[in-house]
Structure 1
Amino acid sequence: MQSPSFIEEKLPVFSFPSSLNFYSDDQSSHKQILTLYNPYDFPLKFKVLCTAPQKFTVVDPEGSIRPQCCIDIIVRHNDITQNNYGVTDKFRIQVQEHGQHQFLGKKDISATLYPSKPDTNISSSAESEQFEQLSKQSMPMVQARQYSINGVQGRSNSGLSVIVILAAIVCIIALMLPTKGESVGSLPPYVHLSVHQKLIAAYTLGLVTMVIFRT
């Protein structure tokens, strides 16, 4: 695919979650996972910056994301102290196309430390924010995990596929049942379907078949 030269620092950056919340009394929350997505048909390079890099450890703050893939980044809060309660720092994600020096897009993500649970009345001043580059650090036996977006979507659609297949089976059984007025063996009258009901079953089967072939 031809590079998107028409994009001038307006490429949307997709990530989850939109903010990182750390809780002093919950040790499991001291390490968060930030997922970056690349829904485009070309690879992206990313860089993670922070307003307070001395407080956090970010595994692989720079890297690349393959087309139609996403990557998990581990963010650990290293300064769980009372002085930092209610303080909101920020991470900035910058992305660019491979081979290009100009950043195509950016997104800011807030990171707040709470003593036990979020307090919406506590906020920090947004004046004179200075984003600094994070040092490259690695944790033993830990690497950024990158996987296909289509694979995630496929798992979420598996439940829908089962429903479609069951609907097709029901329609086929309905078409195999005898029509009203026919005398077939010892089948009770209530399983004899009218012509109108069979037409509905045939029409529904056609729609379901189209869905199955598209998936």
Structure 2
Amino acid sequence: MMHQGQSSPDGTQETGRLRKRDRHAPSPSVALLGNPKTQDSLPVFLFPTELMFYAQERSSHRRVLTFYNPYSFVLRFKVLCTAPTLYTVVEAEGNVRARSCVDIVVRHQDVSPRNWGRRDRFRLEVWGAGQRGTREIWAELKGGEGGEKLLEIPQGSAAPPASSPAMLPPGGLNPGRGRDPALFALYVAVGLACVTFLMLPLHNEPSPLVPAHIHVTVMQKLVCAYILGLLTMVFLR
């Protein structure tokens, strides 16, 4: 059902066309971005920091946003977008339990050349325990394929043998084959450590299960979240 001027749970007014559904229904929804009128006070942990779609790489037409809730209370969330007709968002609104995370799947619906180079904006609005926060990221559709490409040979020059390493990216035609297993294991270990760190309680939150000396601050969680975002970009390449 299409609504005009739908009010959000925190009292803000959404402008433009809004598609709404029950979060348990199978059909997805994306809403238009509005201007929040309340001041944000809650840091939002959302990764990756941008969405890149490639028209000629079918696997890139589907991207995953991971929303972390490191707090001791439940967070409600809603995903909004400046171009709702171009994207489908699975579970565009719902709840995230304390110290848990949820994956939000975003699919690009029109990768035709008319949209190449187009940049759209997504915003995640969250609220809980009387606090509110927002996080915005950019989405862009490129007209080629992602990943590394072979170096071009200038016209008129002789091509070296196919086995020459100068003409291939590290690892040959498939960049994944050249990945150092030890380095990859290090990335995984650091990623798991960051996730574990994000799930620890804050220093001002009592916890009967976690000793007080390993409680963390919001700034420490932000650093871990930033590192985790960088690792996510590495894994998606």
TM-score normalised per structure 1: 0.50
